[in-house]
Amino acid sequence: MSQKNKLQVEAIFQGTVIDHIPAKVAIKLLRIFKLLRTTERVTIGLNLPSNQQNKKDLIKLENVFLNEDQANQLSIYAPLATVNRIKNYIVISKQKLKLPKIINGVLSCPNENCISRCELKSSDFFVRFKINKIYLQCKYCERDFEHKIVIFNNI
pLDDT of residue 3: 53
pLDDT of residue 8: 61
Report the alpha-carbon distance of residue 80 to residue 91 in Å, rounded: 18
Count up the domains in the chain and report the number. 2
13 and 83, same domain (yes or no): yes
- Of 78, 96, 114, which residue is a domain's last? 96
Residue ranges for the binding site?
109, 114, 138, 141
- Check whether residue 126 and residue 83 sit in a common domain: no
Domain with 130 in it: what CATH number? 2.30.30.20
Domain that holds residue 126: 102-153
Give the N- to C-terminal CA distance of the chain in Å, as an integer. Answer: 40
Residue 27 near residue 42, CB atoms below 8 Å: no
- pLDDT tens column, 4-36: 555 566 889 999 999 999 999 999 999 888 888
Clarify whether residues 106 and 92 are in a common domain: no
CB 29 within 8 A of CB 77: yes
The annotation places the binding site for Zn(2+) at 109, 114, 138, 141
Residue 5 pLDDT:
57
Please state, in angstroms and rounded to a whole number, the distance separating the CA atoms of residues 6 and 119: 49
Are 75 and 110 part of one and the same domain? no
Q: How many helices (H) and strands (E) does the chain have?
A: 4, 9
Could you tell me if 27 and 92 lie in one domain? yes
Given this model, what pLDDT does residue 123 score?
Answer: 84
Q: Degrees (nearest 5) of the Cα angle 45, 48, 53?
A: 125
Q: Does residue 14 share a domain with residue 87?
A: yes
What are the 10-residue block averages of pLDDT along the chain, 155 residues in total? Answer: 58 94 92 89 92 91 93 91 96 94 90 85 88 91 93 76
Last residue of some domain: 96, 114, 132?
96
The reply to whether the predicted model has a pTM over 0.85 is no
Q: Which of 142, 111, 112, 113 is nearest to 125 (CA)?
A: 142
Give pLDDT, residue 1: 44
**Given 80, 96, 112, which residue is the final one in a domain?**
96
Same domain, residue pair 85 and 107: no
